Chains A and B, each alone.
Chain A
Amino acid sequence: NFVLTQPHSVSESPGKTVTISCTRSSGGIGGHYVQWYQQRPGSGPTTIIYEDKERPSGVPPRFSGSIDPSSNSAFLTISGLRTEDEADYFCHSLKVFGGGTRLTVL
């Protein structure tokens, strides 16, 4: 089996852009779709990216997903940061979840 490694935390200022990485330990990142979930404090997860780069209806284009086979990583990029984006973000592929990244917008 493989592990998905995310940074424990990231922080950035409102209006800026932040990118969260998700690195797969073995096997190609392109072998299975990668999803990204947002979990605000006290709430359940919601999907912001599925199938590497697709956004469910209602998710603004400020959120984008990509994969990079050269680094065997997936990336979640959030532009125009808002305080409401403060949350934990989890990547997911096959049946494996990353440990989550706490985003602080300050």
Chain B
Amino acid sequence: EVQLVQSGGGSVQPGGSLRLSCAGSGFIFGSRWMSWVRQAPGRGLEWVANIKTDGSEAYYVDSVRGRFIVSRDNTKNLLSLQMSSLTVEDTAVYYCAKSGSWDPDAFDVWGQGTVVTVSS
């Protein structure tokens, strides 16, 4: 069974840092683009970042570029999102997602989500 299991997250004060992780299983992790998507309370879905199969390229939404870093370890089937200089606007449930094919944005499986709360 293809699975993405997330960990990390929690509560932090503005300006703080958090690291999210996403462990993949049941598929060849290194063959798929991986992405992070977030959902603020009561809002819709927002693409945050993605990373190429071999980790050589990563892309970010403008609002997080320079503050978030997406990385992956294909030997451990692990995707990570290092978040720093967090603001209250980053409060959301964060999901990892895998692409179903060569298209980085054609998500076919999602993680269960992890809550990030930024508050003073």
Contacts and interface: CB of A to CB of B under 8 A. Distances in A.
A44 to B, nearest CB: 4
Contact of A37 (B45, B47, B113): B45
Contact of B110 (A47, A94, A96): A47
Nearest to B49: A95
Contacts of B64: none
A39 to B, nearest CB: 8
Interface residues of A, number: 22
Interface stretch (A13-21, A22-30, A49-57, A74-82): A49-57
B112 A44 contact: yes
Contact of B44 (A46, A93, A99): A99
B30 interface: no
B111 interface: yes
A97 interface: yes
Contacts of B14: none
25 contacts: A33-B103, A35-B105, A35-B106, A35-B107, A44-B95, A44-B110, A44-B112, A44-B113, A45-B37, A45-B45, A47-B100, A47-B107, A47-B108, A47-B109, A47-B110, A50-B106, A50-B108, A51-B101, A51-B106, A54-B100, A92-B45, A95-B105, A97-B44, A97-B45, A98-B44
